[in-house]
Each structure stands twice: as C-alpha cells, then as structure tokens.
C-alpha cells in the first residue's frame, strides 16, 4: 500500500480559513483608500509609501482597478480614483434611509432658515440632488430630486470640488471657510450657501445647501445663514461618520466669520 504524501507546509489558503480574507482584495482596497479629502491624485511612489507595498505590486493593482474604472492614470503619470468609485460611493449612499438620516436634517434646516434645503452628491463630473425639502415660501428655487447639475457652478458643486481636493485660490478659500456662497453663478437670480457633509471614515459624501431667489437671499442673508448651514452639515456628518477621529477634517465644527 502506498504511503500517503504529507500535506504541504505552505501557508493556509482562504479555503482552509475563510476568516483570513483575500490578500489581493485587501491590498486593492488599501490602494483606493490612500486617497483622502486633500489628496485627489497620488504618484506611484506616494501610493507605495502609503500602503507599505512595493511599487510593482501597487502598479499591478492600480492597472487592474483601472480596467474596471475604479482608478484612472492621469497624463502626468499620477493616479486618481475613477468614475466607478463614484458610482460605488453613490450605491453606498443609497443604502442610507434618507427619511431617517438626511431628510430630517434638511427639514430642520428649512424650518430654521425658511428656505429650501438640498443634499447633493458627486456623480463623476456632475452633482446630483438626492434629497430635498421645499421651503415654506411661495416664491422659491425649484430643483427636482435626481436632477444633475454642473460641479463648477453654484455653491454645492464648488464645495464638493473644494473638499475633493480641487486646486486654486477659490477652492482653498472654501476649505478654509468651510462653506461657500453663490449669487447667480449657475442660474440668474438664484442664491445659495453650502457646506460639506462627510461619511464613513470622514470621506467627503456630498454637500448640503439652502437656496432661493437672490431678491430674498441677499449676500447679507446668505452670510447670516452660513453658520446654520454649516452646523446642519456638521450634524449630519457626525450622524454618518461617527465620532471625531484623526481623519476628521478641521473644518468640521469650526466657524470662520
């Protein structure tokens, strides 16, 4: 009778111990998680240092993720998250019950300010309104839930760009203030003031704003409402992101007059 061969002494596989997980998946997630609020693009060397992985490993992972649109290599060779990551984030956001989390905050913001309140998220190169509470005023600014609008026009889009790491003086000032005001930028005679909302691990989730006709929402009125909008955005951020941590942006719970 043949003597049975001994089992290999190699490391156990995920079939042997399902709790170990898949190393390649864990490393791919490490690469994607390297991007923060102020680091929208990173070089291969920076990704390697952040993940503690060899550059060849990171390059192989990044190229694999790029095949499915989760990462994109820029013309200068640096890497950024791709549109598929945005859609994945949107699907994650849709897992929240807006009636239990987002909508009550918008409703209270609308009640306090007397204006319509909205919550926007990023979808690639645009922003989409995913929750909205109409204000009590008979004359107001109308936006449909699901409506897609430009990122580079209007306070909510500018805030999303700023806290996604966009460069330029205007975005640096938004990051320092923690909010942005817009008067007639996207649509004539419409004003808005917006602040960022952060989600799990203090990553940017979207922006919250109030909006209305410029005849009523003057620059002075927007300035007066800015702290209220910021406080509401902070409140929602804590509800979605949890307790303060080292990853909490300094703008949260601060007010720059």
We report the CATH number of the domain holding residue 114 as 3.30.450.40
* pLDDT at residue 130 in the model: 86
Any domain includes 142 = yes
Domain boundary among 39, 61, 81: 81
- 119 and 237 together in one domain: yes
Nearest Cα to Cα of residue 197 among 178, 210, 182: 178
Asked if residue 160 is part of any domain, the answer here is yes
Residues 69 and 106 in one domain: no
Q: What is the pLDDT of residue 97?
A: 58
Q: Is the pLDDT of residue 63 over 90?
A: yes
Distances (CA, A) of 207 to 74, 85, 136, 196, 236: 26, 18, 22, 4, 10
Among residues 81, 107, 130, the one where a domain terminates is 81
Residues 232, 142 within the same domain:
yes
Instruction: Provide the CATH number for the domain around residue 56.
Output: 1.10.10.10
For residue 130, tell me if it sits in a domain.
yes
Candidate from 3-7, 64-68, 155-159, 175-179 with smallest mean pLDDT: 3-7
Same domain, yes or no: 77 and 188: no
Structure tokens at 113: 């300010």
61 and 142, same domain (yes or no): no
164 shares a domain with 58: no
Both 24 and 133 in one domain: the answer is: no
| pLDDT (mean) for 98-121 | 89
CB 159 within 8 A of CB 193: no
Mean pLDDT of 168-183: 93
Between the CA atoms of 146, 150, 156 and 158, what dihedral angle is there, to the nearest 10 degrees? 160
Q: Are residues 47 and 123 in the same domain?
A: no
Give the pLDDT band of residue 14 (cuts 50, 70, 90).
very low
- Does the residue 100 lie in any domain? yes
Domain span at residue 149 reads 88-241
Domain final position from 81, 97, 123? 81
pLDDT band at 8 (very low <50, low <70, confident <90, very high): very low
User: What is the helix (H) or strand (E) element at residue 239, kind and residue range?
Assistant: helix 219-241
Q: How far is CA 112 from the centre of its chain?
A: 25
Q: Does 78 have pLDDT greater than 60?
A: yes
Residue 31 sits in the same domain as residue 151: no
More confident residue, 223 or 245: 223
Q: Which pLDDT does position 257 carry in this prediction?
A: 34
pLDDT category of residue 141 using cuts at 50, 70 and 90:
low
Regarding whether 195 and 132 lie in a shared domain, the answer is yes
pLDDT at 85: 83
> Residue 140 above 80 pLDDT?
no
In a domain, residue 211? The reply is yes
Would 10 be classed as within a structural domain?
no
Q: Give a yes or no: residue 231 inside a domain.
A: yes
Same domain, residue pair 139 and 104 = yes
Q: How many domains does the chain have?
A: 2
CB 90 within 8 A of CB 121: yes
pTM: 0.59
| Cβ-Cβ contacts under 8 Å for 227 (sequence gap 6 or more) | 255
Whether residue 216 is found in the same domain as residue 108? yes
- 149 within domain boundaries: yes
């Amino acid at each position: 009778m043949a003597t049975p061969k001994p089992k290999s002494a190699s490391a156990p596989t995920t079939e042997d111990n399902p709790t170990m997980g898949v190393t390649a998946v864990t490393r791919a997630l490490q690469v994607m998680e390297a991007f923060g609020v102020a680091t929208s693009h990173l070089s291969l060397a920076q990704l390697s240092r952040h993940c503690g992985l060899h550059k060849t490993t990171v390059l192989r992972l990044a190229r694999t993720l790029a095949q499915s649109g989760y990462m994109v290599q820029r013309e200068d060779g640096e890497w950024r998250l791709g549109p598929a990551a945005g859609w994945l984030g949107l699907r994650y956001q849709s897992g929240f019950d807006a009636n239990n989390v987002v909508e009550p905050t918008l409703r209270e913001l609308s009640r306090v300010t007397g204006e319509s309140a909205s919550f926007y998220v990023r979808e690639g190169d645009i922003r989409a309104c995913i929750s909205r509470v109409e204000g009590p005023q008979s004359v107001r600014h109308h936006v449909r839930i699901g409506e897609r609008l430009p990122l580079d026009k209007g306070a909510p889009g500018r805030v999303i760009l700023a806290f996604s790491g966009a460069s330029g003086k205007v975005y640096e000032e938004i990051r320092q203030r923690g909010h942005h005001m817009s008067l007639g930028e996207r649509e004539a005679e419409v004003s808005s003031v917006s602040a960022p909302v952060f989600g799990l691990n203090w990553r940017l989730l979207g922006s919250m704003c109030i909006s209305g006709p410029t005849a009523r929402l003057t620059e002075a009125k927007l300035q007066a409402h800015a702290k209220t909008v910021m406080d509401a955005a902070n409140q929602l951020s804590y509800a979605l992101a949890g307790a303060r941590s080292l990853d909490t942006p300094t703008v949260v719970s601060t007010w720059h007059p």
